[in-house]
Structure 1
Amino acid sequence: MSQEFILSVTPVGDDEYLVRTEKVAPGVPLAEEQVRWPIDQWLALSSQLMNDPLLGVLQGQVAQKTASVGRTNSRSEKNSAPNLVALGQQLYNGLFQGNLRDSWTCARGIAQHRREVLQLRLGLKGRGLPRLPWEVLHAGDRPLATGTDVIFSRYQPGTSLFKQTRILPSTGPIKILMAIASPSDRDSLQLKREVLHLQQELQNRAAHPTKNTLHAPEIQLTILEQPDREQLTQALEQGHYQVLHYAGHSNLGSRGGELYLVSSRTGLTETLSGDDLAGLLVNNGIQMAVFNSCRGAYGDPSDLADNSPERNLTEALVKRGIPAVLAMAESIPDDVALTLTRLFYRNLNQGYPVDHSLSRARAGLISAYGSHQLYWALPILYQHPDFDGYLTGAPGQSAAGESLLQNLMGSGTQPVTGTEWKAPTSVDATAKYQQLPVDIKDRTDSPEGKVADDFSGKLNQERSDQIQENYPLSAANSRQQVPGPKSPISARSSVSTTAATRVAAPGQKPGLKKFLTVALCLLPFAVGAGFLGWRHWQNRDSKPEDLLPAVRTPLSQNYIQIQRPNLEKARTAQVTEIAESNFNAGEIAAGLKATEELLDRVALYQAESALQAVPNSTINNPEVNFLKGRLAWQFQQVGNKKYTVDQVRRSWEIAFNGRRDSLKYRNALGFAYYAEGNFDRAYQLWVEVLDSIAPASNKATPSLKSVNNEDILTACAGLGLVMAKTAPSVSPQERTTRLTKAIELRQKVIASDPLSFGPQALAKNWLWSEAAIRDWVSLQKL
């Protein structure tokens, strides 16, 4: 459930703007303020931050004239962070002033009390205001657009949603058309890699809902590679898609920007104007457009003059009524675009609405690249206030959602959808906020429930009279009718409010009939109280604990057996949830076991998400560091350069130093050294593996039962690799000796386990890299 806090900003003069609330939740006062902003200073600083973020922002280039925001002109990343934070703080303090700040504080308090999400939607008029990076709004040191309690998006005032000509199913899949265009005369983005990463993520999706949501839609992705205008039009007309995802190049233009496609005849650039694209999307019922391209939205404030006829794609689509448009403020690195795409669709797949999914994706970008980098602020989302963000229908329309609503409201209560909100009276306000929903499930439309509602309504009337005397509410606070929240709690409160108003009407007094009704309803409670008193007298000599029923402790063996999941049979999403839940609960061993299962499945992004939930107190845990190193190592094996071999080695060194008796850690660290070319260190580690089972002086030979034979053979294979790899760099005599030893080690390994150490089997072994397998195959040819 969520509440809305919709603001509009209108220029009224030189550096003067009218900021006012357009829509708020019940109980939140409407407000407006006329403010003066140093817009030129903000635009100048924004230009420094947004201009070529790969060089400017990431290196901290800030002009001297913006010294009031950032004091230094350092090129270090550390110095760029305070400038970004300071700009976000200035925008936040400029936006929320006077009565607006009070209204905002009230809205956040109510949302927090109800445990609801607060949607902050910012409508910006004119051409200068949208160029500011409002996504960097900072409440103190916290970026507002990256949380899950406050969700930020923009909207274009004065626009209306296009009329949907087809009914969106409430339980169907989200169908995405991804058009990738890399014309031969344009710089090539690694678009094919983006598609492969996205497909990997969607193939691992779960069919069952995940935690915190009952609405987990399936996502169906269709790839349209190198399309021209005709092919794009045909695909949109026939596919019944909800989302168009374009990955390629775009630019500003006088007709709503330009989208670059690929001519099927020449293979060169073919442009599609934003106005034409907007008409095409509206005609085919597209709910959302995603542009992974440069200049898809306002970014660099120096791009356009106020009187420039050029516009961007986002502006064209939003004006035509597309419900949601996600675009990049500026060019974004390919690997960052891949990460953003994966994070956004992962959250969309888990049932979150569009704006919530983007907020969680921003948090993921901060986790991956750091808050001092501007990547998380580059995505700009325009979402119409009348669009709830669900691409297949709101979750409340599903059977599961209705079932939950019925359970919360009571079996005899029908779910109440949005109702028009008018200026609240003191009775309304009191009934809404003083009737706590502690016993909502039990208080149905039964006679006892109605009587209780009557009594609580009368009590609320007496309280509201006192409140009205001290804090009279003015009907002028309401600028317009505002839909109430859709939560079951709010709906139940409105039912109670009606009862309270009916009972507490002026001049109405309860008669004899009503008194007898109340007495008859309370008679069973009196009989029950008498019975409890008799039982208390009968057991007056009993101990207190003797009167309590036997309760099975949740730590009993039976409970553990019931709750223990079968990781091998569980779906990947379920295993991910199990890992994260255990880490959050402090059950590190169980979380690590589930994470290892994810790594065995090569579900790398899910494993990465699970390891991010590991508590900071376990930072030096050997197994945690080993799995972190393994995650980075496996990312390397699939061609993802997000992690380096150096990061792998450092993680495995921490693990090895914590458990020096682990042969598994020694072997893994040996392969890391081998990949770095540190053959001496790799040789030393693998020799230590063999020494661990060799006879020691004055000691009996260790039992081989406790030693994994695969670990020994792996060490032997590693030693053979080192011998063969270093042979060319030594003298001819030493070269012959090393090659002879390498061949002997290879023969020993193959004779012991020919199946596990064949090339095909090693390709399935996460520890063996492609380079190591090639070296092993070369050794077998000697």
Structure 2
Amino acid sequence: MARPIELILDKEEDELDKASIRIIGPNRESATESFDLIWRDKEIWEAVFLSAELNARDRNTWPTGRAFKKATEIGLFDKGRPATDRLKIIGQKLYGAVFCTQEIRSTFDYLLLQSDEIPIVELHIQASGSILQAYPWELLHNGQDFLFRGRRAILVRHVDLRQSVTPVDLAEMLEVVYIAPRPDMTSYPKYESLPPHTSDRLPVEELSREYPNVFNVHSLPVNTLDALHNHLKRSEQATHVVHIDTHGDFGWLCDECRSLNTPGSKICFTCKGPRSPDHKSRGFLAFEASSGELEWIDGDDLGLRLHRRGIPIAVLSACKSGFVAGRSTFNSVAGALIKQGIPAVIAIQLSIDTQQSKKLSAILYEMLTFGAPLTEAVAEARIGLSDESWYRPVLYLRTDIDNYRGNVLQPVTSMGRSLDSYELAKELAEWKVVHHECQVLLDAIDKPLSSMTECYWKPDPDGARLNVAGIEWREHCMPQSKDIPSGWNLRYAQIPIIGSLPVQASEFRDISRELMKVKPSSDEFRKVYGRVRELRGVLWRLLTVADDRIRKLIDLLHPGD
């Protein structure tokens, strides 16, 4: 019987700054080593954490003060901006600390290469209350590549509550309960700049309309915890997925005013009441109270409503819903649901923006519908995310050793799903990524191209419009081009034009440099202008191909829908 690769981590007894790693392979190969814990200094840890969590395009998410200074010292910021390789630096530092000897590295490399399938790496953290819980393990980088990006290997944060999980038959459709609380959060300073969320929902309902014979999505009209509880207890149909789409955070809740405070604060920011020893930091999700006001719900309270209802999967589209800190894995919302018997939880360990969350959901459900194991569904979804976001979703499992790939849904033959359909579904998911990314890049190009066209046809003696075009290119095009081609990481969506993507990525960078040097009306400018139009044409052709391929694949997978 095939088995996963297990990484078992624990703190060394009587050693505050040391831990141990034990690797166990599918055939019981093993290696053990002690290593020094890293980032134990509070300022360094804050710098690392904030550098991994930030959105490079939003300065409000960047570290400030001492954390910014420390992040600059250790190379995570460069010239006042987030370093483009900061995630690689973090991953290499963690890899070097944990896999600190040639023996332990060689053993792990050997096991990863021996698997005929995508290797599953189970992470078992034995020590509670340890920084081991919070390390960004998904970012492990061996100096050549990220170990868990794409289909090289899949990391699962396994909670050692073994139970036998019988896959649930999808008799007719995938039954999803979707709840999207949008409470008023303006009383929290960190959320003041959030855009209105009322119409910004995830594409779960769109999939239900697109594939009416495959998905059945129950969107709750009232976004309270009681409404979710009432639906689950009254529903006569099985629920396969509970999907909660809201804001999340990690901290301690004031008993007096029910405000959520940052983990390190000693007094409540709202009522100024002192923090008592009982106020432990943990994960919370933002629900609506019956009045429509904000109500923070922790994982234990939510888990009680889901307990023993036969729900195999919970999806938490909420920032920090998978974040672990403090004394236990179960202080996270995801961990608390695992403790209450949910076999699998997909959550977000840091923050994630809405567009990336949408892509994650779309690909995830596409794969689940065709019976993909959760491990592979999450891996495919991560492939579709940007360089800034792919590591943020985490998968928690509590299935037994016979089900380490997370097979919790079993399509039945009446739905006509086969291995061929499974492969087609993966290709469809990839073409949707291509289509989305091309559309984003085309939208980004249009603004500077408009300014350049004015320069081309109208006099611009002082170069003002050309300067505007250069600024627009750097602000709109360069950030998007960072996802070409590494963020796409395609295996099934392949045509010759895609082979030119690395060239297109270099084109974005070259054009950015040229726009800073050329003069209006010069031959050099006309050449750059021609290159921009040519680049737009390549992306437009690829968008057209992707659109056509998506339509054909949908017809193959869902004839008559």
Q: Compute the TM-score of the two structures, normalised by the length of structure 1.
A: 0.45
Shift in CA distance, 575/331, structure 1 to aligned 2, threshold 3 Å:
closer
Bigger shift: residues 267-276 or 608-617 = 608-617
1:474-623 pair list within 5 angstroms: 613-616=494-497, 619=500
Decide which of 521, 528, 534 is 1:654's aligned counterpart: 534
SS in 2 for 1:90: helix
1:366-385 pair list within 5 angstroms: 366=386, 371=387, 373=388, 375-384=389-398
Shift in CA distance, 235/578, structure 1 to aligned 2, threshold 3 Å:
closer
Which letter does structure 1 place at the counterpart of 2:248?
S
SS in 2 for 1:88: helix
How much does 1:249 deviate?
2.5
Kindly indicate whether the alpha-carbon contact (under 8 Å) linking 2:50 and 2:62 is maintained by their aligned counterparts in 1. Answer: no
Decide which of 226, 229, 247 is 2:225's aligned counterpart: 229
Residue of structure 2 in register with 1:89 after alignment = 92
1:120-159 pair list within 5 angstroms: 120-124=121-125, 125-127=127-129, 128-157=131-160, 159=161
SS in 1 for 2:128: coil
How much does 1:63 deviate?
4.0
Q: Does residue 112 of structure 2 align to residue 108 of structure 1?
A: yes
How much does 1:191 deviate?
5.5
Kindly indicate whether the alpha-carbon contact (under 8 Å) linking 1:206 and 1:574 is maintained by their aligned counterparts in 2. Answer: no
Measured in 2, the distance between the counterparts of 1:651 and 1:349 equals: 42
Residue of structure 1 in register with 2:79 after alignment = 74
Kindly indicate whether the alpha-carbon contact (under 8 Å) linking 1:291 and 1:327 is maintained by their aligned counterparts in 2. Answer: yes
Measured in 2, the distance between the counterparts of 1:578 and 1:94 equals: 36
Q: For structure 2, list consecutive stretches of 5 or more residues without a partner in the other structure.
A: 187-193, 253-279, 435-488, 505-528, 545-561
Measured in 1, the distance between the counterparts of 2:156 and 2:430 equals: 32
Which letter does structure 1 place at the counterpart of 2:87?
L
If asked which structure has higher relative contact order (CA below 8 Å, sep 6+), I would say 2
SS in 2 for 1:232: helix
Which letter does structure 2 place at the counterpart of 1:294?
C
Decide which of 331, 356, 366 is 1:311's aligned counterpart: 331
SS in 1 for 2:352: coil
Residue of structure 2 in register with 1:194 after alignment = 201
Residue of structure 1 in register with 2:180 after alignment = 180
SS in 2 for 1:357: helix
How much does 1:233 deviate?
0.8
How much does 1:151 deviate?
0.8
Measured in 2, the distance between the counterparts of 1:199 and 1:97 equals: 47
Residue of structure 2 in register with 1:6 after alignment = 6
Residue of structure 2 in register with 1:661 after alignment = none
Which structure's CA Rg is the greater one? 1
Residue of structure 1 in register with 2:317 after alignment = 292
1:333-732 pair list within 5 angstroms: 333-366=353-386, 371=387, 373=388, 375-384=389-398, 386=400, 387=403, 388-393=405-410, 613-616=494-497, 619=500, 653-654=533-534
Q: Does residue 35 of structure 2 align to residue 35 of structure 1?
A: yes
SS in 1 for 2:307: helix
Measured in 2, the distance between the counterparts of 1:52 and 1:337 equals: 15
Calculate the aligned-residue CA RMSD, in Å.
Answer: 4.5
Shift in CA distance, 34/655, structure 1 to aligned 2, threshold 3 Å:
closer
SS in 2 for 1:35: strand
Which letter does structure 1 place at the counterpart of 2:228?
L
Measured in 2, the distance between the counterparts of 1:60 and 1:232 equals: 37
Measured in 2, the distance between the counterparts of 1:227 and 1:249 equals: 13
Q: Deviations over 1:520-550 (max 9, x none)?
A: xxxxxxxxxxxxxxxxxxxxxxxxxxxxxxx
Shift in CA distance, 105/619, structure 1 to aligned 2, threshold 3 Å:
closer
Kindly indicate whether the alpha-carbon contact (under 8 Å) linking 1:176 and 1:243 is maintained by their aligned counterparts in 2. Answer: yes
SS in 2 for 1:92: helix
SS in 2 for 1:317: helix
Q: How many residues align?
A: 408
Q: Deviations over 1:58-104 (max 9, x none)?
A: 86987444567417532345xx2222101101222333344432321
Q: Deviations over 1:400-427 (max 9, x none)?
A: 99999xxxxxxxxxxxxxxxxxxxxxxx
Q: Deviations over 1:494-531 (max 9, x none)?
A: xxxxxxxxxxxxxxxxxxxxxxxxxxxxxxxxxxxxxx
SS in 1 for 2:168: coil
Q: Does residue 294 of structure 2 align to residue 269 of structure 1?
A: yes
Shift in CA distance, 185/15, structure 1 to aligned 2, threshold 3 Å:
closer
* Percent identical: 20
Measured in 1, the distance between the counterparts of 2:281 and 2:531 equals: 53
Q: For structure 1, list consecutive stretches of 5 or more residues without a partner in the other structure.
A: 208-217, 405-569, 584-607, 625-648, 659-663, 669-782
Kindly indicate whether the alpha-carbon contact (under 8 Å) linking 2:128 and 2:328 is maintained by their aligned counterparts in 1. Answer: no
Which letter does structure 1 place at the counterpart of 2:304?
G
Kindly indicate whether the alpha-carbon contact (under 8 Å) linking 2:314 and 2:345 is maintained by their aligned counterparts in 1. Answer: yes
Kindly indicate whether the alpha-carbon contact (under 8 Å) linking 1:3 and 1:118 is maintained by their aligned counterparts in 2. Answer: no
Residue of structure 1 in register with 2:120 after alignment = 119
Which letter does structure 2 place at the counterpart of 1:190?
H
Q: Compute the TM-score of the two structures, normalised by the length of structure 2.
A: 0.61
Between structures 1 and 2, the one with greater helix share: 1
Residue of structure 1 in register with 2:470 after alignment = none
Residue of structure 2 in register with 1:559 after alignment = none
Measured in 1, the distance between the counterparts of 2:134 and 2:155 equals: 16
Shift in CA distance, 255/277, structure 1 to aligned 2, threshold 3 Å:
farther
Kindly indicate whether the alpha-carbon contact (under 8 Å) linking 1:146 and 1:360 is maintained by their aligned counterparts in 2. Answer: no
Shift in CA distance, 116/278, structure 1 to aligned 2, threshold 3 Å:
same
Measured in 2, the distance between the counterparts of 1:2 and 1:288 equals: 24
Q: Deviations over 1:749-771 (max 9, x none)?
A: xxxxxxxxxxxxxxxxxxxxxxx
